[in-house]
Amino acid sequence: MTVSGPDTTGPELRARLRRSRRRSTLISVGLVAPVVLFLVVFFVVPIVQMLGVSVYDRSVSDGMPRTAAVIGTWDRDGLPGEHVYAAIAEDLIEGQAERALAGPARRLNQELSGYRTVIFGTARGLSEEPPESWRETLIEADERWGDPAHLVVLQRAVNPLTDYFMLYALDMERDIEDAIRLQDSDERLFLGLIQRTLTIAVTVTLVCLAMGYPVAFLLANIGGSLRYALLVLVLLPFWTSLLVRTAAWIVVLQSEGIANTFLMWAGFTHEPIRMIYNRFGTIVVMSQVLLPFMILPLYAVMSGISHWNMRAAQSLGATFSTAFRRVYVPQTLPGVAAGTLLVFMLSVGYYITPALVGGASDQMLSYFIAFYANETVNWGLAAALGTVLMVIVLTMFLIYNWIFGLDRMKLS
């Protein structure tokens, strides 16, 4: 490498400076590109695609192509014409032979229980000889072929682009005139589920705040080695696996567990109290799991606050509580906001803990997403509920970003 002599001619220097800047930027872009590429390919694209499943589904249009081509012509005034029924019949016969009906049957049955029987029951009985009227033959095979409600579902489902799952995830549906309406109150499930998810998340957040704030205050105002010892008590659970802590809590809370043994020994109760497999257990365990996420940001903010502010206020005549409220607390608000948002964001997506220590009415959105994805293979609905959860979390994320900026995020 040769070092050239100083060159002070103006424009050339500026050009070289610009070149060097550009080179530096290019290097940075080159350094950041692998991460961006990796995350886009293996994280963003999969999630976007998955969420897309909630509005795009080809199972009926692929499984019943002839029907898909003609059923759009039906104006819902009376029953469809013979050519529509003929298309359905041909699709059923061919689909039965090629085993292509499972997709449409599953999809239609998701919208209307019983549709599977309509499809397979009819398909098994059809012979290839065209009868005089496919319409009569089909209705004879299953009277539901004469029911407009069933046909409307079919007509809607042949369109790959669907809002059915999203609406359903919000307890809404389209009536026979295609108008969107809320389901009857005794048919609703998911609005209550969303509400329950938010309630649990808010409760856990508040419990964490109530326990975390005083402890963070203690940590920030205590001296020397005791502080480190106590910090380890917070960090140890933070580093310990969620599964380990959940197992530990089962040992503590079960009906012959430590807590009940103690309560009965101390004479508080004669019968074991139910503390697990219900809402109480869910809140307790989730709070313990998430408490470090509240304490650590609070502690980070509090340890930066000088205690002389409080002293000054008190020396000017304020009582401790007034000084605390008016002088100290306002300075900790950034920490409060960070901890609360973080805990809320994490708790709203919880799955493992409620699944292991909750009861039938304590399961949150994540549980239902996993249920529809794994157990009933209703991926559209799983994706739609995922979208709902995603919207909640992203809103929180944006608020967090807006208040703090992500560049200031820190760990421990």
Partner 1 sequence: MRKAVTTSALAATTALAAGALATPALADLTIASWGGSYQDAQRTLYFEPFAEERGISIIEDDFVGGIGGLRAQVTGGAPNWNIVQVESEELILGCEEGLFVLIDYDMLEYDEDDFIEGAATECGVGNIVWSKVLGYDADRIEGDTPESWADFWDLETWPGQRGLRRGAQYNLEFALMADGVPADEVYDLLRTEEGVDRAFEKLDEIRDDVTWWEAGAQPLQMLASGEVALTSVYNGRLTGSNRAEGTNFAGVWPGSIYAIDSWVILEGTPDVELAHDFISFASHPERQAQLPEYIAYGATHAGADEYISDEDAPHLPTTPENLEVAIEFDTEFWVENIEALNERFDRWAAR
Partner 2 sequence: MRLPPYATPAQRLGYWLYIAFCVLVFGFLVLPLIAIVPLSFNSTTFLTYPMPGVSWRWYEDFFSSSSWRLSIYNTMVVGISAALLAAALGTMAALAMARTQLPGSRIIMALIISPMVVPLVITALGMFFFFTRLGLTNSLAGLIVAHTALGIPFVVITVSATLQGFDFNLPRAAASLGAPPLFAFRKVTLPVIAPGVIVGGLFAFATSFDEVVVAIFLVGPGQRTLPRQMFSGIRENLDPTIAAAASFMILISIVLLFCVEMLRRRSERVRGLR
The residues that touch partner 1, with contacts defined as CB under 8 A, are 98-103, 105, 109-110, 113-114, 116-117, 120, 186-189, 192-193, 196, 254-256, 274, 277, 355, 359-361, 363, 368, 371, 374-378
> Is the Cβ of residue 170 or residue 356 nearer to partner 2 in the bound state?
356
Query: 104: which residues sit within 8 A by CB, 6+ positions away?
Result: 59, 60, 63, 64, 95, 119, 157
The C-alpha atoms of residue 400 and residue 406 are separated, in whole angstroms, by 8
193 binds, among partner 1, partner 2, none (CB under 5 to 8 A by kind): partner 1
Residue 191 as a binder of partner 2 (CB under 8 A): the answer is no
Residue 7 as a binder of partner 2 (CB under 8 A): the answer is no
Tokens of 159: 């369109």
> Is the Cβ of residue 132 or residue 375 nearer to partner 1 in the bound state?
375
Residue of 257, 272, 334, 359 interacting with partner 2 (CB under 8 A): 257
Contact 235, 292 (CB under 8 A): yes
Using the rule CB under 8 A, give the single segment among 129-137, 179-187, 269-277, 404-412 that binds partner 2.
404-412
Q: How many CB atoms lie within 10 A of CB 188?
A: 14
> Is the Cβ of residue 54 or residue 332 nearer to partner 1 in the bound state?
54
Minimum CB separation of residue 374 from partner 1 in Å reads 6
Q: How many CB atoms lie within 10 A of CB 186?
A: 5
From the number of C-beta atoms within 10 Å of its C-beta (0-12, 13-18, 19+), residue 172 rates as middle
First to last CA, the chain: 44
Q: How many CB atoms lie within 10 A of CB 339?
A: 29
Minimum CB separation of residue 396 from partner 1 in Å reads 24
Which among 410, 407, 369 is positioned nearest to 50, based on CA atoms? 369
Q: How many CB atoms lie within 10 A of CB 3?
A: 5
234 binds, among partner 1, partner 2, none (CB under 5 to 8 A by kind): partner 2
Minimum CB separation of residue 33 from partner 2 in Å reads 9
Residue 389 as a binder of partner 2 (CB under 8 A): the answer is yes
Residue 17 as a binder of partner 2 (CB under 8 A): the answer is no
Residue 265 as a binder of partner 2 (CB under 8 A): the answer is no
Q: What is the largest CA-CA distance in the chain?
A: 101
Minimum CB separation of residue 323 from partner 1 in Å reads 46
Q: Which long-range contacts (CB under 8 A, 24 or more apart) does 272-278 make?
A: 276/249, 276/250, 276/357, 277/357, 277/358, 277/359, 278/358, 278/359, 278/362
51 binds, among partner 1, partner 2, none (CB under 5 to 8 A by kind): partner 2
Helix axes 365-374, 379-404, angle to 10 degrees: 150
From the number of C-beta atoms within 10 Å of its C-beta (0-12, 13-18, 19+), residue 343 rates as buried
Residue of 6, 10, 11, 34 interacting with partner 2 (CB under 8 A): 34
Radius of gyration of the chain (CA): 31
Minimum CB separation of residue 287 from partner 2 in Å reads 8
Question: 303 to 362, contacts with partner 2 by CB under 8 A?
Answer: 320, 345, 348-349, 351-352, 356
Residue of 13, 15, 17, 36 interacting with partner 2 (CB under 8 A): 36
The b/e string for 18-47 (b: 16+ C-beta within 10 A; e otherwise) is eeeeeeeeeeeeeeeeeeeeeeeeeeeeee
Question: 44 to 83, contacts with partner 2 by CB under 8 A?
Answer: 44-51, 53
Minimum CB separation of residue 381 from partner 1 in Å reads 8
> Is the Cβ of residue 360 or residue 411 nearer to partner 2 in the bound state?
411
Residue of 110, 205, 288, 332 interacting with partner 2 (CB under 8 A): 288
Tokens of 114: 């019983």
Question: 196 to 235, contacts with partner 2 by CB under 8 A?
Answer: 211-212, 214-215, 218, 221-223, 230, 232-235
- Site size for partner 2 (CB under 8 A): 92
Chain centre distance of CA 119: 34
Minimum CB separation of residue 263 from partner 2 in Å reads 13
